[in-house]
Amino acid sequence: MPNLENLKKQAKLILRWHRERNYPVAAQIRGLMPRFLNMPDSEILAANFKLSDAQDMVARQQGFASWQALKTGLSTTSRKVKSSPSKATIVCAEPQLFVTDIKRSCEFFREKLSFSVVFSYGEPPYYAQVGRDGARINLRYVEGLRRVGGPAIESTVRDREELLLTSLTVATADEIKLLFLEFQSAGVTFHQTLKKQPWGAKNFVVKDPDGNLLLFAGPAN
């Protein structure tokens, strides 16, 4: 569960980045705050942006409609911690895919896999993040992939060895079937269709426009 004090610090950091005209934060603001949706980076950084705006932005990142909704949600579900944790806990991971065309990759994730574009940075864009539910994937443009005429790993080797770039999971057997049927209806290219594995999982593998292999998995029963 996110800690409210840490989220307050995160909001203050976003506000400081805005005041310092840190351009990457402009893309994040545009992706999360509707009133900045159609504004270029320069206008976002010149606009009036208060701590309350940064707090609402943090709340949206956590899945809440507003800062007040976030505080209410945390207060109703929080549990008292009796002692300090004995070790740090990693709560999120964001795999990064190397791609040759950020715009094309964003369109693929949005139109074929029903992800949304969290942010896209640069003109032309060279870095972006897409997300669906709790999953986040970073997309990094690498000019070298285009210059050498293809992916860094030869495609036949990647396909034969099933060199997966990222794994995404759902909670139930029904959901993995629904997800497969959804992608199938969208005309997604599969490296492997839905299959029950000996270790008690069902999974399938999607191939993106750059040939990256994306595993989607769930329980078999």
User: Considering the chain, what percentage of its residues have pLDDT values greater than 70?
Assistant: 85
Per-residue pLDDT, 147 = 44
Residues 45 and 119 in one domain: no
> Do residue 37 and residue 66 come from a single domain?
yes
Q: Are residues 33 and 113 in the same domain?
A: no
Domain count, the chain: 2
pLDDT, one tens digit per residue, over 84-102 is 667 777 767 788 999 999 9
Taking only Cα atoms into account, the Rg of the chain, rounded to an integer number of angstroms, comes to 20
Query: Domain range holding 33?
Result: 4-77
Structure tokens at 178: 């629904």
Average pLDDT over residues 130-141: 90
- Cβ 142 vs Cβ 100: under 8 Å: yes
pLDDT at 148: 43
DSSP at 36: G
Q: Which pLDDT tens digit goes with each residue over 138-157?
A: 999 987 654 444 444 566 66
Give me the pLDDT at residue 149, please.
43
Is pLDDT at 64 greater than 80 in this prediction? yes
> Are 62 and 113 part of one and the same domain?
no
d(CA 180, CA 51): 42
Is the domain of 66 the same as that of 132? no
Give the pLDDT confidence of 22-62 residue by residue, as tens digits.
Answer: 877 888 898 888 888 888 888 999 999 999 999 999 988 88
Q: Has residue 91 been placed in a domain?
A: no
135 and 185 both lie in a single domain: yes
Structure tokens at 122: 């640069």
Same domain, 102 and 18: no
Distance CA 109, CA 117 (A): 8
124 upstream amide cis, omega within 30 of 0: yes
